[in-house]
Amino acid sequence: MSNTTARSEALGATLDPMAGYDRTTSVWGPITMLAGMAAMLMGPLLMVFAGGYTVSPGTLVTAVAAIALVMGVVWVIEPISYFPILGSGAMYQAFLIGNISTKLLPAAVTAQGRINAKPGSPQAQIAATLAICSAAIIHVGALVLVVAVFGQWLLTVIPADLLAAVTQFVVPAVLGAFLMQNIIGNRKQPKVLITGLAVGVLVIYVLVPMVPALATAAPLFGVVLTAAAAMLMFRPNPKAGTR
């Protein structure tokens, strides 16, 4: 009975190659995702259990809650919106590699456009998979060349004072770029920008000095208060629909 089933599956894969492709990706996709998750968690776990660092449960819960409040909607929207373009195999690749909207999705769409593949077709799925493979190879190659080779040499020639200044201000520079990106993306909604700025100032310069114990939960309070204020400002007007 098992031989008959195996022959049937082999015959089906021969008649429909995409069936075998989908079956293989559905098996190895979750395995590679779980392996990637384990590899990413290995560093923090080693720092806690072998490096002597400690993280309180309250800080961990606060950080996870703050990230979930900000990115929770994206966790649902991105898979739904990306799947018709990428397909199952490329979806596993994309979420394992990262930088989907800025690097992998444009590469996949460009490859599909070059061969005039219809979205959702087998040709589009294969094109997306190969495009993501190419983008990842180029990305890793560039990182090895620029960071591992050129970056190490650059550290030897930069003066110590300049290197200390760069190290000190790199985090504010990254956060400033992130802030400006959000400001530009919401420039047509000045109320949101003003509200977010006001809530940030209130939490950092009023709430935290008054209650120092809430310092670790400041990001969570800022996100919750900003979201609540935005929901109140953009609450639909029942009277508008009756006109």
Domain layout of the chain by residue ranges: 1-38, 61-157
CA distance 41 to 39: 5
Q: How far is CA 23 from CA 4, 11, 30, 107, in A?
A: 18, 14, 12, 24
Q: How far is CA 69 from CA 38, 73, 225, 226, in A?
A: 24, 8, 11, 11
Q: How far is CA 92 from CA 63, 121, 141, 161, 236, in A?
A: 26, 17, 21, 44, 38
CB crowding 27-61: b at 16 or more within 10 Å, else e: eebeeeeeeeeeeeeeeeeeeeeeeeeeeeeeeee
Q: How far is CA 204 from CA 115, 130, 211, 220, in A?
A: 53, 47, 11, 12
The pTM score is 0.59
Report H helices in 50-104: 57-97
pLDDT tens for the chain, residues 1 to 243: 455 555 555 544 455 677 888 888 889 989 999 999 999 889 888 888 888 888 888 888 888 887 887 777 778 888 888 888 888 889 998 998 888 888 888 899 999 998 998 888 888 899 999 999 999 999 888 888 888 778 778 878 888 888 888 778 877 777 777 777 777 776 777 777 787 788 888 888 888 888 887 777 777 777 778 778 777 777 666 565 554
Residues 207-243 pLDDT 10s? 888 888 777 777 777 777 877 877 777 766 656 555 4
For 32, the token pair is 């590679």
CA distance 93 to 99: 11
Fill in the DSSP letter of residue 211: -
Indicate the Cα dihedral angle 79, 81, 85, 87, nearest 10°. Answer: 30
